[in-house]
Amino acid sequence: GQNIDQPTEMTATEGAIVQINCTYQTSGFNGLFWYQQHAGEAPTFLSYNVLDGLEEKGRFSSFLSRSKGYSYLLLKELQMKDSASYLCATRGYAGNMLTFGGGTRLMVKP
């Protein structure tokens, strides 16, 4: 089975940096995804990690440590529009099945 933990809520200030952590325990691991979801909208893809290390994409970076079952999403130069839920999801070996954590609701304040 799969178990994914991430904080329920976080608050940060516009222009700052925030790190959202995700820990997972899986019976088979084949990659970790981060999605962004604004209230009432569909999740949209942010990043994918399958090997250890940091993947950078503009203001967003994602890190993975497979030995520790740990990932984080780093958001730099926060903007008000970054207020959203951030979903961590692992993929197993059965096709393209994703298992999602409960999501972290990020509130960016002026």
Cβ at position 83, least distance to other proteins in Å: 18
Tell me if 41 contacts other proteins by CB under 8 A: yes
Touching other proteins, residues 46-65 (CB under 8 A): 48, 50
Considering only the stretches 10-18, 19-27, 68-76, 89-97, report the one whose residues sit in contact with other proteins under the rule CB under 8 A: 89-97
Q: Tell me which of 7, 26, 31, 70 binds other proteins, using CB under 8 A.
A: 31
Question: Does position 44 bind other proteins by CB under 8 A?
Answer: yes
Quickly list DSSP for the chain: -EEEE--SEEEEETT--EEEEEEEEESS---EEEEEE-TTS--EEEEEE-SSEEEEETTEEEEEETTTTEEEEEE-S--GGG-EEEEEEEE-SSTT-EEE---EEEEEE-
Residue closest to 23 by CA, chosen among 10, 39, 11, 5: 5
**Residue 74 interacting with other proteins (CB under 8 A):** no
Instruction: Write out the residues near other proteins by the rule CB under 8 A.
Output: 30-31, 33, 40-45, 48, 50, 87, 89, 91, 93-103
